[in-house]
Amino acid sequence: MTRPESRPLLFLDVDGPLIPFGAPAELRPGGYPEYRSPYAPRAAEEHPLVSRIDPGHGRRLEALGCELVWASTWADDANTVIAPWLGLPALPVLPVAERPDTAEADLRAGLHWKTRSLVAAARGRAFAWVDDELTGTDRTWVAAHHRGPALLRLVDHRRGLTEADFAALAQWARAHR
């Protein structure tokens, strides 16, 4: 059995990768599909876009063999609403350190507000990060400041996680277990 700390980390954003949004009618002529989850918590009723999350993604994410971590503005609400919807246990939440001395400079430089915290939380462990707001600045910063392997997977917020995303994550995870 693989020790949890030897598995790669998978940092998950919610809005965009799990909850797709913003597609024009040409891309989604019938609108977004809506799902029902056998695990749906009552709290999901308060969030109308949660029904866009395919509950089957939970099994697919677990099958990657990574330690899953929320990296989202949903913070602990992801454990109240999203994790149960996906049939997942409560997951760790990325602690985002507020650094007033660097936040403004990072913003001007185009560095995502999560990037420093992800690298700090990974502590050299292999990690993948799925987000709809990744840029070349984030890739460059991670390459310069993270000593382990990292996959930064840009997900199209209009589509959410796709077969291609899951295939890329699975291939990367197999190579880094």
Per-residue model confidence as pLDDT tens digits over 99-134: 767 777 888 888 999 999 999 999 999 999 999 999
- Residue 1 confidence (pLDDT) above 50: no
- Residue 63 confidence (pLDDT) above 60: yes
pLDDT at position 4: 56
Element containing residue 86 per DSSP (H, E): helix 83-86
* pTM beyond 0.75, yes or no: yes
Of the candidates 125, 131, 149, which has an alpha carbon nearest to the alpha carbon of residue 11? 131
Please report, rounded to a whole number, the percentage of residues in the chain having pLDDT higher than 90.
79
pLDDT at position 2: 46
* Mean local confidence (pLDDT), 134-161: 97
pLDDT at position 158: 96
C-beta atoms surrounding 145 within 10 Å: 12
Mean pLDDT of the chain, nearest integer:
93
C-beta of residue 131 within 8 angstroms of C-beta of residue 154: yes
- Residue 141 confidence (pLDDT) above 80: yes
Contacts of 151 (CB under 8 A, 6+ apart): 127, 128, 129, 168, 169, 172
pLDDT-derived band at 5 (thresholds 50, 70, 90) equals low
pLDDT at position 109: 87
* Mean local confidence (pLDDT), 22-35: 91
